[in-house]
Amino acid sequence: MEMTPERWAFLGRYAREVFGTEDEQMEGLMDRAVAAGLPRIAVSADVGRLLKILVSLTPGRLALELGTLAGYSGIWIARGLATDGKLLTIEYEDRHADFAESEFADAGLGDKVEVVRGAALEVLPEMGDRLGPESVDFVFIDAVKSEYVDYFAAVKPMLAVGGLLVADNVYGTGQGWIDEGYGTDEFNRLVGADPDFEATVTPMREGILIARRIR
């Protein structure tokens, strides 16, 4: 039996039904965000759970997210951290950052998560200097797709050996897909060929790259 577009769509719904259970706060989060005028472009719950599991496989002391939006993925990441672990999440839009801060507080994560305001490529150099090399256990890239190559250059020195780099939308977005000449092909190939990383992709949602820094 062949994979059809209908079957592919069904399997996505199936994965969200079976592996995408959420608590009450997470369930209502994106509806509240959309009501507040934010776009519905967060990861799905099954991907959120993947993020949490991956963070919890690292020491979970410090995680970094590029692209906070409403705090949905950030809450999943923060829930995978060690007890004293911390998430720094970078967001360009003040309106998104304000909304996310309030959700992090409501989720009881106000002390664990810091929203850093600004454009990722402007914030990261200072952050790298402040945190130092190999200080971050987990990085989730989910901001401007055309900037992924530059994000990789900025976060690579910050990532600890054994740490994980995860990126969303590596097959594309609603605006265009890799086979149409859009997307993050250059980034995927760069990480895939980097001898300091072991990387793969899972076709969940719009493609999730998972790479482990091995040296």
Ligand X SMILES: C[S@@+](CC[C@H](N)C(=O)[O-])C[C@H]1O[C@@H](n2cnc3c(N)ncnc32)[C@H](O)[C@@H]1O
Task: Check binding of 29 to ligand X (CB under 6 A).
Answer: no
Which string of x and - marks every residue 113-152 that binds ligand X (by CB under 6 A)? ------xx---------------------xxx--------
Q: Would you call 215 helix, strand, or coil by DSSP?
A: coil
Smallest gap from Cβ 144 to ligand X, in A, equals 5
The partner residues of 86 in beta bridges, in order of sequence, read: 62
Q: How many residues would you count in the chain? A: 215
Which region among 54-62, 89-97, 131-139, 205-213 touches ligand X (by CB under 6 A)? 89-97
69 backbone φψ class: left, alpha, beta (φ>0; ψ -120 to 50)? left
- Tokens 């060929």 map to which residue? 193
- Find the shortest distance in angstroms from Cβ 6 to ligand X: 26
The residues, any chain, with a CB within 8 Å of residue 98's CB and separated by 6 or more, are none
Which CB sits closer to ligand X, 46 or 142? 142
HSE value, Cβ hemisphere, 13 Å, CA-based, for 131 = 25
Q: Which two tokens stand for residue 122?
A: 């402007």
Full DSSP string of 51-97: HHHHHHTS--SEEEEE--TTSHHHHHHHHTS-TT-EEEEEES-HHHH
CB of 186 to ligand X, least distance (A): 18
Kindly state the smallest distance separating residue 26's Cβ from ligand X, in Å. Answer: 10
Tell me how far apart the alpha carbons of residues 170 and 173 are, in angstroms, rounded to a whole number: 8
One residue of 50, 54, 58, 67 binding ligand X per CB under 6 A = 67
| Nearest Cα to Cα of residue 160 among 86, 59, 57 | 59
Does 210 contact ligand X by CB under 6 A?
A: no
Segment interacting with ligand X (CB under 6 A) among 6-14, 91-99, 176-184, 198-206: 91-99
- Residue 19 has which token pair? 């592996």
Q: Which stretch binds ligand X (CB under 6 A): 14-22, 39-47, 189-197, 199-207?
A: 39-47
User: Count of residues binding ligand X (CB under 6 A)?
Assistant: 19
User: Given the rule CB under 6 A, which of 67-75, 155-163, 179-187, 200-208 is the region that contacts ligand X?
Assistant: 67-75
CB of 71 to ligand X, least distance (A): 7
Binding interface with ligand X (CB under 6 A): 41-43, 66-69, 72-73, 90-93, 96, 119-120, 142-144
